[in-house]
Amino acid sequence: MRIAVASGKGGTGKTTVAVNLAVFNSIDLFDLDVEEPNDYIFIKGEAEERIAYRKVPEVKDNCNACGVCKDVCQYSAIYVIDKAYPLPELCHSCGACVYLCPEKAMEEVDYQTGKIVRVKSDEITLTYGELTIGEASAVFLIKQVKELMESTAIIDSPPGASCPMVESVSDADYVILVAEPTPFGLHDLKIAAEVVSELGKKFGVVVNKHGLPFDGVEKYCREEGIEVLGKIPFSKDIAEKYSRGELLQDMKDFFVQLYEGIA
Amino acid sequence: MKQVAVISGKGGTGKTTFSATIHALDGGVIADCDVDAPNLHILLNPRILKAEDFIGTKKAEIVQDRCSGCGLCYELCRFGAISADGYFVDEKKCEGCAFCFNVCPEKAIEMRDVKTGDIYFSETQWGYFVHARLKPGEENTGRLVTEVKNRAKKVAEDVGSDFLIVDAAPGVGCPVIASLTGVDAAIIVTEPTASGLSDMMRVLELCEHFRIRPFVVVNKYDLNEDVTLKIEKYCSENEIEFAGRVPFDERILEQIANLSFPFSGKAAEKMVECWKKVKEVL
């Protein structure tokens, strides 16, 4: 079973849940928050990395500046003066310009979108992507990291509710939405719940920082019939452990039960 | 008029709290550019003056009467958006690249405008506020951010505001890049955790890539003073302007829970100090 850990709002505790859930149940972990991967801070071991590429057009000498490529590109990623000049950072790698060039003056070449790192700790393997700074879209890299995923995995998703988050949860069998009990947390939980429901995913909620003076998240879950899978207390001790990059050894049972409750 | 983006890399470090606090202090114009999980409106309680549709993208649609079932679109689509089973487009996967539209021998594919969000122009108790909401699960957040920012910039110029504050999304991808385009400075709100530090370094790299002047604020600095010192040291060694530390303040959590805004207490006071420091230098 693949379990994705997601949230609309950032900083609600996705990484905490994903890392501890993976380690204490000995399941391989995939950090798909490629813009800001953090799981590696908690999983120590020998690392192996490789460059990840996507395809972008390159212009050959026979370009006659006819401008077809510029006209078909929907992303303003090509400008034409004396010849065509592609802008790889804006390119979506759709391949239309190369295919439609009447002079066959374009070819696709590899362009670095990031790197993929595998870390083998004593307990599990962590696989994560790290997006090259300046790349706009995380989706190409997320897709490549996902190709390494087996049928059992814990997935740490990026925050938000747009394409990178959708891509990250799309192959999961179950989604844990981590929410913090604040008006912000509630607002973004509703958005995230809308996305995963629309994708037809089964999901439940883990309340992190439980004990904050706001009951709106639990009330919402009750009203909507969303299962609250567990609550992690608001505690300085947990926050400090997180700040140092440590696992929550004291809460091992909690994470074992959390997994058993879902699987 | 100066444009200042509030960014963080890592989510949940206090961008929105910081942005809202300086808006309540100085008024002027503020934009919420975290369009897929916007939160600023929760604190600013705006009165919406105008709402507009955001036509974020075009998506392919196959006109079944004209489709001969040749399968070329299916073969060429890089995004797996065309199903071979009867040939139809999965809207969620379509990136709007129009490759299929351009190659279909039967001209059976049309590109249709799709509304993917709303843009709001609002008034707050302190000034003006431009914000948006992306339809959950949609793409092209960068373009929506650009629309929000351009509108906010125009309002700021029209009303003669000294500053435009841009509250950005977490991460380093397209919505953040769009938020940073053309700003005069970025305030990076970070937290003293190993993750906060790692993410801060990546947004600093992003600022350097786009030649944006960064300022660093450490929120909840007393959570781990060792990491706070590390952040300060990193800033001084790399000639990055350090705008200040903000203490952890439990009262601000209560105020968020009760939505009693503007915030008061030591954290809010320190945020104001940090902002004044940035303002002075700009």
CATH number of the domain that A233 lies in? 3.40.50.300
CATH 3.30.70.20 placement within chain B: 57-115
At A171, the pLDDT band (50, 70, 90 cuts) reads: very high
**The pLDDT value given to residue B84:** 84
Same domain, A131 and A238: yes
| pLDDT tens readout for residues B72-112 | 999 999 999 999 888 899 988 899 999 999 999 999 999 99
- The answer to whether A243 contacts B192, with C-beta atoms less than 8 Å apart, is yes
Q: Would you identify the CATH topology of the domain B57-115?
A: Alpha-Beta Plaits (3.30.70)
pLDDT over 90 (residue B267): yes
Same domain, A130 and A200: yes
Could you tell me the two tokens for B176?
Answer: 């953040």
Q: Note whether A131 and A113 are within 8 A (CB).
A: yes
A218 touching B (Cβ < 8 Å)? no
- Give me the residue label for tokens 């009165």: B47
Same domain, A248 and A183: yes
A182 touching B (Cβ < 8 Å)? yes
With the C-alpha atoms ordered B89, B94, B98, B99, is the resulting torsion angle positive or negative?
A: negative
Q: What is the mean pLDDT of residues A158-165?
A: 93
The closest alpha carbon to B208, from A133, A132, A38, belongs to A133
Q: Which residues pair with A112 in a beta bridge?
A: A53
Phi, psi of B15 (to 5 degrees): -55, -50
- The answer to whether A191 contacts B202, with C-beta atoms less than 8 Å apart, is no
- H/E stretch holding B122: strand B109-123
Give the global pTM: 0.94
Of A112, A130, A149, the position where a domain reaches its end is: A112
Contacts of A8 in chain B (CB under 8 A): 36-37
How far apart are the C-alpha atoms of A119 and B46, rounded to whole Å? 47
| pLDDT tens readout for residues A106-122 | 999 999 999 999 999 99
Q: Does domain B2-45+124-281 have CATH number 2.120.10.30?
A: no
| pLDDT tens readout for residues B103-155 | 999 999 999 999 999 999 999 999 999 999 999 888 778 899 999 999 999 99
Same domain, A9 and A99: no
Closest alpha carbon within chain B to A163? B139
CA distance A65 to chain B (A): 19
The closest alpha carbon to A251, from A44, A7, A16, belongs to A16
**How far is Cα of residue A90 from the mean position of the Cα atoms in its chain?**
20
Contacts of B227 in chain A (CB under 8 A): 243
Q: Note whether A12 and B12 are within 8 A (CB).
A: yes
pLDDT over 90 (residue A67): yes
CATH 3.40.50.300 placement within chain B: 2-45+124-281
Q: Note whether B164 and B282 are within 8 A (CB).
A: no
A169: containing domain: 2-45+121-262
Number of domains in chain A: 2
- H/E stretch holding A239: helix A236-244
CA distance B160 to chain A (A): 31
Helix (H, G, I), strand (E, B) or coil at A154: strand
The question of ipTM being above 0.90 is answered as yes
